[in-house]
Amino acid sequence: MSAVERKDAATFKGNPLTLVGLELKAGQSAPDFKLLANDLSEVSLVNFKGKTVLISVVPSLDTPVCDMQTKRFNEEASKLPADVTVLTVSADLPFAQSRWCGAAHADKIKTVSDHREVSFGQAYGVLIKELRLLSRSIFIVGPDQKIQYAEYVKEVTQHPDYDKALNALKAGARA
């Protein structure tokens, strides 16, 4: 199976990168995925049916911007309604994610790993071909499993637009 490749879809410190998979847009059905939780159990989109899911995608929790992005969403998660789940997806090993969560006291989010199959990366168009890491992005999937919001951050070392994502989340909750 050959996946779509989007050359120059992202950059790392200005150097062009190829993202594998199609770019998703608001209104589309959210593709399913197979991720690993910190306890090595399998997690897929169906686990969140009927909930709104904010998916924060980072290359690695062990880098400064990813660390700050994940801490920010952990802080915001405590202010969100109970029917909203915040996932952080990276290609880090589940053990590294668990260690990071403990050290950062990140207990309001769920970290899940795409290291095994990179099915999330390919399905959501964020797999960096050259690095086998995920490109920084934010997705909001509604209870109907449709994408309500998608942001692909062009320069991987930059932050996403937190306020825009959180405003879209709040607007979707009112819809």
Torsions phi, psi of 138, nearest 5? -135, 135
pLDDT at 91: 96
> Which residue stretches of 23-133 are H helix?
64-77, 94-104, 119-123
**Residue 1 predicted with pLDDT over 70:** no
Q: Are 90 and 127 in contact (CB under 8 A)?
A: no
Read off the DSSP letter of residue 47. Answer: G
Rounded-to-5 percentages of helix, strand, coil across the chain? 25, 30, 45
Other beta carbons within 10 angstroms of residue 30's beta carbon come to 22
Residue 131's nearest CA partner among 76, 82, 173, 91 is 91
pLDDT at 43: 96
Element (H or E) spanning 19, and its range?
Answer: strand 15-20
Entry pTM: 0.94
**Residue 17 predicted with pLDDT over 90:** yes
Percent of the chain with pLDDT over 90: 91
What lies within 8 Å, CB to CB, of 64 at 6+ separation is none
Domains within the chain, CATH numbers bracketed: 24-174 (3.40.30.10)
pLDDT tens figures, 70-108: 999 999 998 998 899 999 999 999 999 999 998 999 999
Read off the DSSP letter of residue 133. Answer: E
The residues annotated as belonging to the active site are 66
Cα separation values, 83 from 143, 145, 168, Å:
9, 13, 15
pLDDT tens figures, 135-175: 999 999 999 999 999 999 999 999 999 999 999 998 875 54
pLDDT at 170: 86
